[in-house]
Amino acid sequence: MTASVGAHGRSLFSAQEVRMEAEMIYEWRHRRRMRQDDLARLLGVSQRTVSKWERGDAPIPAGRMPQIVAALIGGAPEPRARRRRQKLAA
């Protein structure tokens, strides 16, 4: 999927493409058992921004997608819930 970039660095995706991106981010984040604030911290944005992206309420800047994909597919810290369980088991 190729997108044009507007004057402010925003992607010019259609509404359907924005929803597809939003669903992809939500699904991959849940597969990684990652919270919105975990992803936000990795990307240097607020949890509110991640929430808006996932709901499709705000477009994802075109330059952000590679960072989002990298954070969701690899290099992300272990989710908090798993770390807590390991501490309790120790």
**Between residues 44 and 16, the one the model is more confident about:** 44
Query: SS3 of 35, please?
Result: coil
pLDDT tens digits for 28-64? 999 999 999 999 999 999 999 999 999 989 888 888 9
Task: For domain 15-89, give the fold.
Answer: 434 Repressor (Amino-terminal Domain) (1.10.260)
Whole-number mean pLDDT of the chain? 78
The model carries a pTM of 0.66
Confidence class for position 73, pLDDT limits 50, 70, 90: confident
Q: Give the model's pLDDT for residue 29.
A: 93
Residue 9: DSSP 8-state: S
DSSP string across 45-76? S-HHHHHHHHHTSSPPBGGGHHHHHHHHHSSP
